[in-house]
Structure 1
Amino acid sequence: MSVLFDENDLYRWLDERTIHKAAGYLARVYDLRMERDLLHAKVEGTATQPYRVTINLKASLRSPHSRLNGRCSCPVGDNCKHVAAVMMCALHGPDEDSEDEEIEATVPQHAQPVRAELLTRLSQWHAQHAARTGSSKGKQNPKSVAFVLSVFQFRLGIHAYRMRKTADGALEREKRFDITPELVIDPPGYVSQQDIAVLGQLWLRQQRKGGRRVAVQPLLDMILASGHGWVQHPGTRQLLPLRAGPARAGHLEWKAADSQLGVCSLPVLQVDGNADGAVEDQCACYLDERTGETGPLQLAVASPDADAFLGLPPLLPDEHSLTAQMLQRLDPALPLPPATADAMPIAQVDGMVPHLMLHTEEQPQTWGARRGEMQRLEFATVSFAYGDHFKHLDDPSRFVRGADGTIELLPRDTAEEAKRENELRSSGLHRHPQSAALLSGAGPHFHLRSYDWGSFMLRELPRLQELGWVVTVPEDFRHRITVVDSVLWDVQPDDTGAGWLDVALGIEIDGQTVPLAPMLAQLLQTDPRWTRGALDAIDDEERILIASPTAGALSFQAGRLKPVVTLLGDLFGNGAGPLRVSARDRGRLQALQQSGSLQLRGATDTRAMVQRLVQEPTPQPVAAPVGLAAALRPYQQDGLAWLQYLRQQELGGILADDMGLGKTLQTLAHVLLEKEGGRLDRPALVVMPTSLLFNWQQEAARFAPGLRVLVLHGPAREALFEQIPAHDLVLTTYPLVWRDEAALQAHAYHLLILDEAQQVKNAKARAAISLRTLQSRHRLCLTGTPLENHLGELWTHIDFVLPGLLGSEKTFNLHWRHPIERSGDGQRAQLLAQRVRPFLLRRRKDQVAAELPPKTVITRHVSLEGGQRDLYETVRSAMQEKVREAVAGKGMAKSHIVVLDALLKLRQVCCDPRLLPGEATPRTQGSAKLDLLLTLLPEMVEEGRRILVFSQFTRMLELIAQALDKSGLAFVTLTGDTRDRATPVRRFMQGEVPIFLISLKAGGVGLNLTAADTVIHFDPWWNPAAENQASDRAHRIGQDKPVFVYRLIAAGSIEERISELQQRKAALADSILENGGAAGPGFSEEDLQALLEPLPGVSAKKGKAPGKRGGS
């Protein structure tokens, strides 16, 4: 075996501490072998398996400043004490195994100087004294000394061990001696005189600094004479006794090799009989490790010349000629190197291919670190492949070794090599100024700042590969990036049986599945683009780097991750466990299955389960209930089928049709169908704003007279709580639901329905909290608010009807609401719509326009409450008495002014008590109709409606305007006092404002407002023809949309009674208003008495009709 380094290199590469540690491992090195420029060995350590060591000598010796390139399988990894032990054994001959951890060895060291003459005299005196006194005689000592011989790099290696004789007589090595002057002068008692002499020579032999050499042959003779010489068999590893053998022939020759300088020729020594030869000064000998023989080696040249020949450095082809001339002059018997460069053949290659090798190396810390602390650095080296031959950047050698071992000239393209180096520089890589000293490997080394490697690997490396570079990235390269092409997902029911699914995300790397969810959670925390609605701004082709704790850096195409984050990103903050998805979340499962970014894996039953879950059943047509006193339009029939489907699937839902499309009617039909089907064994509880209570009561009586309805309202409601189970439909209001919480909680419900559910959009409000405590089989929200424009309300409603479906409010806002509302993330908006689609039914009026009549008139009743109700009764009672007296004294024909005044005052109170001069007080303030209007208008504006609001009272329009200002709703006004009529009309028609407040006198005729599609009559008009005329401001020629006309009526009041009379007597308005009383009233005293009846629930004084005096 021949190596290319010496002891000086060893001390340059390794610090003294490492060398000192390695001393205890020299005897544990075995299987030492050289393959080309790689030195291999195994070293017994503390692990159960030996450590494997590989040392690249070619890379380590590239320059006088190159770092040792030694790899080890131990935890340290490189240039450790095991590497040092192998290097020391390679220098001084291999040591053999010993299982004893107490073994110590001679360390190449700079020992304290001791003169050889003194050491010789002292050792001889000690031997003579021992012979004279007989101190070495007596009882036989089981311990002895053994000298183990080996040949390495044409030098003889001799090491001394302490041996112990076992019970069966076999010899066992215990400890390797650290040969010091003290050992030679004062050895243990079992060391013989001959052993002392040998130890003395060995100590002198290891002192090489002064150039002192110990003659080998006399030393061999002394060891043979001692009988303590041994050789280890390379196959059986047994110790064989050293014995003298006959002389053998040997010869010198040149061996083809590769060094750090390229192809070269090494001077070597070959021995007949497959033995190893050693040459030192005047001695040439051999050692046969298979037989234990040693003897003289016969060479054709003198030993000093052979020693000098073997000491020559590797010979480059250009140096052959000069060296050959010198050798011929010295001794014709010396072998000459191969043919000169001029005679070499040309290597046959086809172009050049650049190669880039990336490295991660551990280097000593240079700044602010304690001694011995290491850091990991990344570098790149470059080589150029000419066929099977590689040349490193800056390597000037033109020579390579051919397939038959001959040296050939390589036609290098230096211009192309320079161009390739420029490509590296353009990628950001630049030469390290101390590359030769910092990193092992061949050629100059390129580096980047640590934080630039990710970008280089992601962007520049693919570009270099496109330019033809072959890139090698070792597995231990710290910035190695694995390109991930697909994301896998698996789904299983969780163990709770509560309708949840465990979804696992993973990627496959080297046949192993790596969990993806924790890495995506980290991405969402570090890159705000993924959580702040900027997904659409991320290019689908962008490469996204994610750090994996086990697989290094992973590169994903953004287009593959975006659907995953969009679909499941709101679940990543729930801990390290599986992602939990509701089995009801059909929209999410459908999107997962349909996404091209994910691949469903799992057994057949898993795939079948997912397929079953994502198949959305189609609501089946149902017949309208027999007891429904109305004909359902086709879209309403579909709504009823959808409500029945939700009940069949045990789901909740949101019916979000535009206002005026009949949500109340569809709900009543649903409740009635449940009753007729025998499923309404519990009541349906409907909660609503107070302004809608009377309307629900009236429409239930009108359209579903078969339902037993209970209204929980007013101070007497407490007496009705016990009757809840006996009714089909229970009506209450949001202000009362939390006050009556205990009473309502005492019962269970078949349906819990929230009308105008946006009234409890704050999930933390008292009413909302109370509603969540009520027990019901199914929950339903009714709202006309376009929930796509109010995602906060969407979450509130969905979380009420299907708790947990969209996660917590905080998570929903982070992953859905904010990205959609603030950043316009269209993809998330689409996926959210897909998720809630099975549980949300919304039809806009334009979608069902074909099923609607040109004009739909809707009457909305509202009950007068509190002070307004009391004021109405006070005024009514007073006016009733005043009218009675007038009619009794003058007759009906002459009392019309008194009658009209009475009716006017009652109508004003119905609109707003503030219209009645001097009657509005803090107690009586409050308008039920104004509250209803302010409930309707925001929803209508959200739907995009264009609204005309008519009133006969300009003061009422002023009050409405004040309320709209507070609500932030834009409007224009047209009254008799408006001088510039064109501007408000223009602004409304051009869409600048959605609401137009108009008085009867100013806008009853002469306006063409076809931009409007909704008309609201705040107060009923006595003349139906005039009311129709006002409605026709919107519903006239040129209108291409269905028009909805809303009439707001105070329930049980004069307004409702006038409306009833209008239906019976078409000429009533003419009699009261248009004729001015000149032709006499058009209604009887009985009609007048009906108009002045008290509100429902108020007892009337017994009396006669107006004009009739009571008698005795």
Structure 2
Amino acid sequence: MKVYTTQPFQVIYSLFEHEYLGYLFESFVVQVNTKGQLTLQHQNISAKNADEFAARLDANDFKLISLIDQVQQDAVLKKFSSKRLSPADFFLKVYDPEKGDKQLQEEISHYIQVRMGRILDLLQGKMTFIMGKDGEPTWKQIQVAPEKATVLFHFMRNEDNTHYFPTIKYAGQKLDFQYRGAVLICYEPAWLMLNDVVYSFEKDVDGKKLQPFLNKKFIVVPRSVEENYYRKFVTPLLESFDVHAKGFDIRSEKFTPSPFLTFSEIKAADTAVARVNSVADADKILFDLSFKYGDYMVQTHEAKRISVNMEKTAESYIFHKLVRDVKHEKSFVKELAKRELEVKNGTAVLDKSLAFSWLNSNLNELEKLGFTVLQQEQSGKNYFIGDISVEVGITETNDWFDVYGTVRFGEFEIPFIKLKNHILTKNNEYQLPNGQIAIIPEEWFTQYVELFAFSEGEHQLTLKKHHMALVNDLKNDNLATVTMTRKLEKLREFEVIEDQALPAGFVGELRPYQKAGYNWLHFVQNYKFGGCLADDMGLGKTVQTLAMLQHRKEHGVEAASLLVMPTSLVYNWLNEAQKFTPNLRILNYTGTYRDKNVEQYKDYDVILTSYGIVRLDAELLKTYYFDYIILDESQAIKNPDSTTSRSVRSLKSRHRLILTGTPVENSTMDLWSQMSFINPGLLGNQHFFRNEFLKPIEKEKDEQKMRKLHALIKPFILRRHKSQVATELPEKIEHTTYCKMTEEQEHAYEETKSYYRNKILTSLEEQGAGNTQFLLLQGLTKLRQIANHPLMTDAGYEGESGKLKEVMRMTKNVVTKGHKVLIFSQFVKHLEILRNALDEKEITYTYLDGNTKNRQQQVERFQNDKSIQVFLISLKAGGVGLNLTAADYVFVLDPWWNPAVEAQAVDRAHRIGQQNTVFTYKFITKDTVEEKILALQNRKIQLVTDLISTDETVIKSLTKEDIDNLLS
């Protein structure tokens, strides 16, 4: 029958017994008559239609209706039946007396009981009834008792057995419930219905403990099973409920808790512990906090406040009822939290190294507070806990530093050198003479890793003098006691490099910053350090070096110095030497017909040669002990495993110097190779450098590692920027010119972009970024070429290029006004297309790429011949070693990741000797990858400020989002 919401109605709850599920409730709305009485007009209410009757429902009604829905047989069927069975089939199968599913019965019972407990809690003040056998929901009204009843369990031990029974009290009065038709309508926890009143209990009594006594006075426990029964049933009952005993003793005992902190390793197999603590590996330590009360140990995570232990005596039993001091226990937990060990549910988990670091730092204090700290028995390795300290001393000898030290693990003293392999391999476990395992403090791996990586010797550690910065750091951070000579002490404190007189045979003058560079070369020479002169292009590294070599000659140095450079720079050095140091005796040791005889070197001051010749003549050259080995454009040895690098490193000399405007081109490893040449061992071996510096800097952008690397190399690098020192240089003005693609060019670009975009993004999804780099590089190169001119990728292309049109328009404009222009491209193919265009317009030009043999002639023609106003140059071949100050315009046709490469190109014109303002134009094709690269340059390039700029490393660091953006 439908209940009308326009007329008065009442929500009621009706109790009925299900054949299999036990006592359940149903919810109804019942129409109310004009006298306020319930009528027979009613209907079921559920979550589906409850909103219709919301006007007369409160928040608890909505909760009740939802819970009651969950215990109806259809809801149970839906939750627990995996097959589509009818209710009859499901219940007959599951509850079959012989073949029924006992486990599923228990799961269903628990599900129902938990919800029934919540329903009964919410029924206080609600109209509640027992349902009639005809389904009438309001057959008999029942009440929910407003207070909770109490249960007292009685045990009476006599000569033959023990009688066990409960008594119930409500509002101070004994409740006579046995043989009175009482029923338990819920078991988890117990709710008892007696005389139409439903009672709940304090301490959440399990209904199964009351069930046997509804129609029984007591249970008899025979003497034969008494001990087992007392231990397994009476003991836990005493921990949770009130018990009255006759025939045995219950003694309440109070003690002050003593905290015990035990620790153990978490093995990979300890999955339960790992899950609880959200850890899955074995490199963890589990701390467990428990408390000792008298002779009893109590686990913190146990929720019970009372702990009971049974003692069997000759005649009877004594139950020791221990009352826990929870407030006192919590104060110990707080003490641990103050020391940054957060104990939750009795346990805490830390990384192994952090755990032992924490123990070593806090052990003494914890013991003063009353903690007992110990390792759990049978937990694997026997770990040392106690005082750990280290003392390191560094003493300067003639040519190196001696390093010595002692590590103390409690009573044991270990030579510091014994930790070398442990620190370098990041193995934090050190076995002590007594077999215990000491955990090396985590901070030592950071503090001493460079010292061990850079030091030499198996029995005595030594550091080279060029590790002065490391020694300084150790001293300043109080990690080592340092003893050194006055000369080195002076170096530690120096503020100004001493001024050195120019040699008499030097012709001309040095600018102030060049004179400072000359002084610096003497400074590193004086301390027997190798140096890197890394001034910007065009600041006169050549002339500073020649002045220093002239000084060596005038101070009686007999051995020759070896100057190694790219072949294209040999004549530049010869010309500069003739101009500034005409007295230097120079041998041009190049060419097929060179005299392969080191005996001749005694007649020269400087030997000029190329990297190629050093590769070929390494065995011969290493028989001579040079005064200086100087590498110009030293990035030529950036690959440490190349034949060139190995050949150069095999040569012998008193001093070493490198000259470069770009210490790093592709990777931080470039820096390692060059610094290891001038100061061997300065940055450790390749493996160490890769793990400690290259990976953290390039992949993780670790600023702390960047600063550390800077500190190590700073004393040996002199780097000045033009903007800082060459203030007399005219202004340099930079422009970006945007070119629009032609229709045919745009079509070619979009077609190629779609092809590579799909391939690259699919590869990213399937194989990850590492396996996509080659494909990405290939795709980007193709797109850059099409952005220049589609002819570069398609010989049959007949259309035009927007960029070529713009470049030719501006070239004609510059030439017409009498200016000279350098035009750089990374692609020789692009230069060929440009040559054809210039030939058509009858504009004369000089040309230089990697295959050009007469480089110097091309340079001189451009510099001196007024009729030649255009110089086409391959960026790779002409980015270094050229002095082209006749040009006052520079066109860069195809930008790439590394702005340093472009800066070198511009520096061909914007250098000492330039009289005019230099205008630089960078040509960018609109709506192409070139535009995206320009934006990425600002975000992705610089790894170490003012020193390390990269190229291919940027490709490695591109995210999926970056790639998506580049190809969008």
Same fold? TM cut 0.5: no
Taking structure 2 as the reference length, what is the TM-score of the superposition?
A: 0.43
Decide which structure has the larger Cα Rg and report it: 1
Taking structure 1 as the reference length, what is the TM-score of the superposition?
A: 0.38
